[in-house]
Structure formats: C-alpha cells, structure tokens
Chain A
Amino acid sequence: MMAQSIRKNLRVISSAFEVTLRTNIVDSFVLFTILLQPLVIAVLAMWMLSGRDTSNAIYAVVGSGMTGLWSTLLFMGGNSINWERWTGTLELLVGQPSHLSLIVFGKNLGVVLQSLGSMLASYLLAAVLFRAPLHVEHPALFAVSLVFTVFAFVCFGLVIAPIFLMNPQVQHWQNAMEFPVYMLSGFLFPIALLPGWTTPLSYVLAPYWAARALHGSSSGGASQQEVLIAWGMMVALGVAYMFLSRWLMGVMLHKARADATLRME
C-alpha cells in the first residue's frame, strides 16, 4: 500500500518534471536566465580578474553558474505558476487529488536541472574566451555537491512557490528576492564581507550551503569535513523546507481559494 502510494507520488513528480522540460525548452526567456544572464556576470567577473591572479577563475565560474541557477529557479518557477494561472491550468492542478507540493517539486526539478546549463556555459566561456586555468580541486566531492545542490535548490523553491501561488503579482516578489539571496548565499563573494548580523540569515538558506560545498570542492578552499557539513546542512534544510512548504502551501491555497486568485481573466 505504502509502496504503491510512493510509486504514484513519484509518477506525479516525474510527469510534472517532464511537462516542465518540454514546455520550457521552447521558451526564449529560459535561454536568457540560463545562458545570457550568468554569462554576462561571468564576463564581468573574468574581466575583473584579468591581468591578476587567475587562480580564482573557478570561483567566478561556479559563482556565476549559481546566480543562473537561482535566477532560473526564482523566475521560471514563479513565472510557471503565474503562467498556469493565466492559462487556466492552475485551477486544474488545485482541483485534482495529488498534493500540489509534488507537482511543484517536479517543476522545480526540471527548472534546476535545466539551469545547470548556466554552470556549463560559464565554464566554457572562461575556458575558451578568457583561457583561464580552470581546475576543480576535488572532482568527486564537487560532483556529489552538485547533486546535493540540486536537491537543496528544488526544496528551496518549494518554500517560495506558495508565495507565488497566493499572489498574482509575482514579479514584485521575484525582484525583491533575487539580489538578497545572491549576496546572502555568497555566490560571488564570501559572506564575511557582509555585516555580522546577516550571517544567521545565510545559515538558514540552503543555497548558502550549496555555495560553500561547490566553492569549497572546486577551489579547494574548504576541508573535506567542511564540505560534508555543507551536505548535511543542505539535506537538513531541504527536509525542513519540505515540511514548511507543505504547511505554507495549505495556508496559501486556502487564501487563494478565499481571494479567488487561482485564475485570472
């Protein structure tokens, strides 16, 4: 019975994942968030490094890739909920028996896996255009960190999805959230440069731990134990996000049903 239920839920996630990939693939905005925006950031970062010590090039590449990952999740995730609202499919998703969190999980997974292209694009740009020496210090740790990063970002997306579900003014939230998370997560510079009071905020952000694991394993600036701690934090926060999202989703859905914001004409 339980195995059957798990199988059904996994089928929901994989279907949402497949539909997201197939609908996003033809969306030009995806190309912008996955490729263009991180490439612009990577070019700026590489240009700032040119003529100086290029041993930090891999930091810039990973950092700009992560900005792409976050922007894609934030904009594509939010836009896809709003797009469903305007096309009338959000009501169908709410009115069916599967939990909406499963569908959002599948959607986020599709978006995050697509956005890994950001990192690849930044890497190719730095290697080919700037001929920077790109050396990943601990390839195995980096590869595993990437898997945990995908999980952490997908779960982080689950927490922000209910906000988009309730509020049709998605863009306001997206614009307000994009840069604070860049900075607090230390994608492109260490959070030590920020005021001390912001550090606890960084610690509750799974993208911060993802950045620590990816930067640490690629640049070699962190010990194996520190990377392991970052993995543990990603898992712990990811699970906490899932529970939080389930509760938030219930609250926001109730509000969306009360305020009639599931469909826009």
Chain B
Amino acid sequence: MSAIEVRNLRRVYWTAIGVIRRKRKEVVAVDDISFDVDKGELFGLLGPNGAGKTTTVKVLTTLLLPTSGTVRILGYDITKKPEPIRSRIGFIFGGERGLYWRLSAVDNLRYFASLYHIDPEVSSRRIPELLDMVGLGDRSKEKVEGYSRGMMQRLHIARTLLHDPELLFLDEPTMGLDPVGARELRQTIRNLQQGGKTILLTTHYMFEADALCQRIAVINHGKIVAMDTPEVLKREVRDLSIVELDVFGIPQAVVDRIRTLPFVDTVSLENVDQRQSLRVQTSRGAEAVPDLMATLEGQRVGKVIVREPTLEDAYVRLVEGEA
C-alpha cells in the first residue's frame, strides 16, 4: 500500500466578479493529477509559484476538499475519513504564519502537544529535545513575536514532529531561510527520511529537489508535466547546452525574438540582484553565441557562459514547454 494515492485530483476555486451582475469565475488550481508516494519515500512536488503545489498539499492534508478525484492517505479516503489521517500526518506551510506570536516556543509546542493527545510526561521530554534539534533550545522561552523568519520556520519543524508522524508534508520549508539555515534544514529533512518517514516536499528550488528527492513531479498550471527520478528528468536536456548571459533591462520583445531563433529550444529570464540572467537552451552550444549576440545588439550584455544542463534546466524546459 502506498502512503499517498492520488487519482485524477482536480480542485477548482470560484470567485465572483462584478457588483450588480455578478459573474462566477472558475479558477482551476489542480487539474486532473495522479501520483503515488511509497512509504519511506521522499517525493518532491516541483513547480513555479501558482502552479498548484500548495493546493495539492492542502487537499492531501485534509484542509481542502477535492472538487473531483480521489485521494487516499495511509489507506484512508480524505473526504470520507479525514480523522484517522490527522493524527498520523504532520504538515508545515512555512513562513511567519501558523504560530501563536504572543506565546513562547515552548508554550506553542505545549499547546499542540495537548491537541495531539500527547501525554504530558512524554511532551515535557520531547519538547526540549525537539527545540534543541532545531536550534531553538536557548531561546525557547522567548515570545515568538521576537523570532526571525528562520527561527519561526524551525519552530514549525519542531511542531510538526511533536507527535512523531509517519508522513510529513513540507510546503516550501526552506523559503526565506538564510543559506546556512536552509542547508541545516535540508540535512534535517534527509535525516527524517533516513529515519523512516515518508515525506512530500514542495519547492521551487531545483537544487533542493535534486539533492533531496528520490522522485519528482513537475507541476505547472495545475497539471503534472513530468514525473520521474532527478536523473531521468535531467536526461530530458542531455543533448542541449545552456548559454547563460548577464543582461540589464532587456525588453520583452528582444526575449521573444530570441525565442523564435531556429537553434533555440527554450529561453528563461530571471532577475538576479541588479542584473538579469538570460538562459538559452540550445543544441548548438558555444556556436550559438555569435548569433545570440547579434540578436542582442544594442543591449548591454555582461558575462557569457556556456555550460552543461542541470535539473533546473530540465525543469525550465518542462515548464516553458507547457507555458
């Protein structure tokens, strides 16, 4: 039996537009997705913002009902039997929300320990252990309102491990953490998986999915566009090279012109500090550079690199291909 079984899951939100003649608008957040996660597996749900990752996790954690399709968690149907699921799963949605700011870390955990019916003797032992594990032991009695985002994120992890759940849902757990904190958290996640937990992780950091997940489902516009191991997904782009160019304030029309070049597979543009990183996937490798430079004539171009593709490039190709 799989820990998670998702069949043809679809989730739609409705919003109303207008004042007098109100029209109901349908927004499809998750569109007919199916996947399984085995017990003990670390499974990644990878996709850009608004792709449907969080909605999927909310359905899987019994917080939202599916519009159609079935979801079974640890053998229980989330629509018919949500109660037995709730004591056996843990979830974090991360960020600064989901905590009682006026209480200390210890008091937050004590409250949730009682809600999860953890014996006071057990919780009085487990709470300090967990707080030490996430590095909050020294500041456990301070009110949460004085915590940094990273500290709050670590407190979320401690909270979700309180009742020792067998299945964990981690929605973008490292978002907003500093690099050292994120690395430590990734190590914690790895340890949890090695300790036998089943984990579903959502992220839009490719290197994170690559480093942690055994299998990845790439989700875009509510649909799963690819699902496999990171190695197989990387093969998607093995015949391509990546030309990465630093540009500054490049107009969209120029990006669109590059996209139409015959030797160009996909193009992505990302803001990095004061510059933009233009990534072009091409089968021509370094030979494509002169033609690209010609198309970029009149634009300010900085560093140019030609490199081997990564999982991130496979992801860009999958997502761009769907766009």
Contacts and interface: CB of A to CB of B under 8 A. Distances in A.
A87 B98 CA distance: 6
Contact of B91 (A95, A258, A260, A262): A95
A223 interface: no
B303 interface: no
Contacts of A91: 58, 63, 93, 98
A26 B102 contact: yes
Interface stretch (A11-19, A70-78, A211-219): A11-19
Interface string B17-42: 00000000000000000000000000
Interface string B106-130: 0100111011110010000000000
A190 B153 CA distance: 55
Consensus secondary structure, chain B interface? loop
Interface string A235-265: 0000000000000000000100110101100
A23 B100 contact: yes
B64 A260 contact: yes
A147 B117 CA distance: 28
B63 A257 contact: yes
A95 B86 contact: yes
Size band of the A side of the interface? 20 to 34
B115 A103 contact: yes
B87 A87 contact: no
A196 interface: no
Contacts of A260: 13, 58, 64
A87 B62 CA distance: 19
A8 B87 CA distance: 14
B112 A97 contact: no
A96 B112 contact: yes
Given A15-B110, A87-B97, A257-B65, A97 B116 contact: yes
B64 A98 contact: no
A123 to B, nearest CB: 30
A19 B64 CA distance: 26
A259 to B, nearest CB: 8
Contacts of A12: 114-115, 117
Nearest to B110: A15
Contact of B112 (A23, A26, A88, A92): A92
B114 A92 contact: no
A141 interface: no
Interface string A1-27: 000000010011011101100110010
A37 interface: no
Interface string B68-101: 0000000000000001001100010101011111
16 contacts: A15-B111, A15-B115, A19-B103, A87-B100, A88-B97, A91-B58, A95-B62, A95-B91, A97-B83, A97-B115, A98-B117, A254-B65, A257-B64, A258-B64, A260-B64, A262-B64
Interface of A: 8, 11-12, 14-16, 18-19, 22-23, 26, 87-89, 91-98, 103, 254, 257-258, 260, 262-263
